[in-house]
């Protein structure tokens, strides 16, 4: 498909434009398995513990719970975590450790609650009859090479939590109850802050893919993910402030009203405010709705939204749908490729955008790199452009910035 994921973080961006966060939301801990400190508690046939729960109950801050690859029924309920700079780590040994069985309920099959300083590496949560994973009021959580494989309710649900890293994860088959399910495939909400979601695949879920909602100080980075085949939107920001959505590929939402990327103010929010949102270097194509959608349920405010250097193509609802009464602040629409036709938005500074196919490498195979001689090459404005492209390579490569998500080489 021509999609590339490069998990580069800490890249430099153009000064004064993409400044929702000042750095990675949650730094990857240096002490990764095999452990360099703390005790190692082993789980599995012939190990110290037969169940993950027994090992978790005995573990203390700084310990590492090594789980032999295999399937473990009954889930995991945590009533304590690690301590500052002393992560309590659970990791699969020789393959994924799969937590499965009923009992997910309202707490989650992996029930984190308010426990903090926790890492989960090489762990899968599968077939929950409620939530797959749920945290509420936690902090300093790391999910790496983590999977959710089916749940009736939401998948990875993080509420009122902060300093979270979700890295290289896969989430599918959640919200099996359909639109009556609570929360989404990945929900970051209700006062959460300091969130980074990178290098993940979130697909074929019954509601939204990645949802940042009701976070007035989100400090969230959603980047380098591939999100597809969800009811939609694939990536959704609702009534939140301080969110960067970049270097993602989103496609094939299933509901005709759902965009690849959605920005909204719903009535459920107390603040009814969406502010300081940056959407750049994304590819949004083949969605049942628009490539990018703006929606306000009844009233509220949208302000300071920047949509720069994105590529939209073949979205059934057009490149952009705009169902709001207006926007406040400084809003920018620049250096985008609108394969469905030229777009400008009321209340936005709109310039250096292109309509139609400017010369893609192979759009039929979803390769939206620019072909040699493309009219989008060197056609962009430097002011406000990100300093890197969808491949995490520097901009500009030529005389000027290219349009769209990719910089030609």
Whether 391 is covered by a domain: the verdict is no
Give me the number of domains the chain comprises: 1
Distance CA 73, CA 75 (A): 6
In 254-336, beta strands by DSSP E: 261-265, 273-280, 283-285, 292-296, 301-308, 311-313, 320-323, 332-334
CB 272 within 8 A of CB 265: yes
Arithmetic mean of pLDDT, 91-113: 93
**Res 342: pLDDT:** 73
Write out pLDDT tens, residues 263-313: 999 999 999 999 999 999 999 999 999 999 999 999 999 999 999 999 999
Write out pLDDT tens, residues 149-206: 999 999 999 999 999 999 999 999 999 999 999 999 999 999 999 999 999 999 999 9
Neighbours of 265 (CB within 10 A): 24
Write out pLDDT tens, residues 207-254: 999 999 999 999 999 999 999 999 999 999 999 999 999 999 999 999
Whether 400 is covered by a domain: the verdict is no
Whether 42 is covered by a domain: the verdict is no
CB 258 within 8 A of CB 238: no
Whether 141 is covered by a domain: the verdict is yes
Arithmetic mean of pLDDT, 16-21: 34
The contacts of residue 222 (CB under 8 Å, 6+ apart) are 197, 198, 210, 212, 235, 243, 244, 245, 246, 248
**Which residue, 359, 364, 316, 306, is CA-closest to 337?**
359
pTM for the model stands at: 0.92
Whether 17 is covered by a domain: the verdict is no
Whether 27 is covered by a domain: the verdict is no
**Res 31: pLDDT:** 53
- At 175, which CATH number? 2.160.20.10
CB 205 within 8 A of CB 174: yes
Q: Is 46 exposed, middle or buried (0-12, 13-18, 19+ CB in 10 A)?
A: exposed
Neighbours of 206 (CB within 10 A): 23
Token pair belonging to 378: 């060197």
Whether 394 is covered by a domain: the verdict is no
**Res 103: pLDDT:** 73
**Res 101: pLDDT:** 84
Residue whose token pair is 């962009």: 380
Distance CA 125, CA 99 (A): 5
Whether 56 is covered by a domain: the verdict is no
**Which residue, 169, 134, 138, 163, is CA-closest to 151?**
134
Write out pLDDT tens, residues 54-64: 999 999 999 99
Distance CA 171, CA 151 (A): 10
For 156, the domain range is: 63-370
Write out pLDDT tens, residues 351-405: 999 999 999 999 999 999 999 999 999 999 999 999 999 999 999 999 999 999 9
């Amino acid at each position: 498909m021509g999609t590339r994921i490069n998990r580069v973080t800490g890249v430099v961006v153009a000064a004064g434009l993409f400044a929702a966060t000042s750095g990675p939301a949650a730094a990857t801990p240096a002490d990764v398995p095999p452990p360099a400190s703390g005790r190692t508690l082993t789980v599995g046939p012939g190990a110290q513990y037969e169940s993950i729960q027994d090992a978790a109950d005995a573990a203390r801050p700084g310990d590492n719970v090594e789980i032999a690859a295999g399937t473990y029924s009954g889930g995991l309920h945590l009533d304590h975590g690690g301590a500052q700079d002393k992560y309590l780590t659970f990791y699969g040994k020789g393959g994924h450790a799969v937590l499965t069985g009923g009992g997910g309920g309202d707490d989650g099959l992996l029930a984190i609650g308010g426990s903090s300083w926790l890492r989960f590496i090489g762990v899968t949560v599968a077939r929950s009859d409620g939530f797959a994973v749920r945290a509420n009021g936690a902090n300093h959580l790391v999910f790496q090479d983590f999977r959710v494989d089916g749940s009736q309710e939401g998948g990875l649900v993080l509420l009122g939590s902060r300093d979270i890293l979700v890295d290289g994860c896969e989430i599918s088959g959640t919200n099996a109850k359909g639109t009556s399910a609570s929360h989404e495939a990945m929900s970051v909400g209700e006062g959460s802050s300091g969130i980074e979601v990178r290098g993940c695949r979130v697909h074929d879920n019954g509601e939204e893919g990645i949802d940042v909602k009701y976070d007035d100080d989100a400090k969230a980075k959603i980047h380098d993910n591939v999100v597809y085949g969800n009811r939609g939107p694939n990536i959704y920001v609702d009534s939140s402030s301080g969110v960067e959505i970049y270097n993602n590929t989103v496609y094939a939402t299933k509901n005709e009203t759902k965009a690849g990327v959605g920005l909204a103010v719903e009535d459920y929010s107390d603040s009814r405010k969406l502010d300081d949102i940056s959407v750049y270097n994304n590819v949004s194509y083949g969605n049942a709705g628009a490539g990018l959608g703006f929606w306000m349920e009844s009233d509220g405010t949208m302000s300071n939204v920047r949509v720069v250097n994105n590529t939209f193509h073949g979205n059934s609802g057009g490149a952009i749908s705009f169902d709001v009464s207006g926007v406040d602040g400084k809003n920018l629409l620049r250096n985008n490729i609108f394969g469905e036709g030229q777009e400008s938005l009321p209340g936005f500074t709109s310039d250096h955008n292109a309509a139609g196919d400017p010369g893609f490498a192979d759009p039929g195979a979803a390769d939206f790199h620019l072909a040699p001689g493309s009219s989008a090459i060197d056609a962009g404005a430097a002011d406000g452009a990100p300093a890197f492209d969808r491949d995490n390579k520097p901009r500009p490569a030529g005389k000027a910035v290219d349009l769209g998500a990719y910089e030609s080489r």
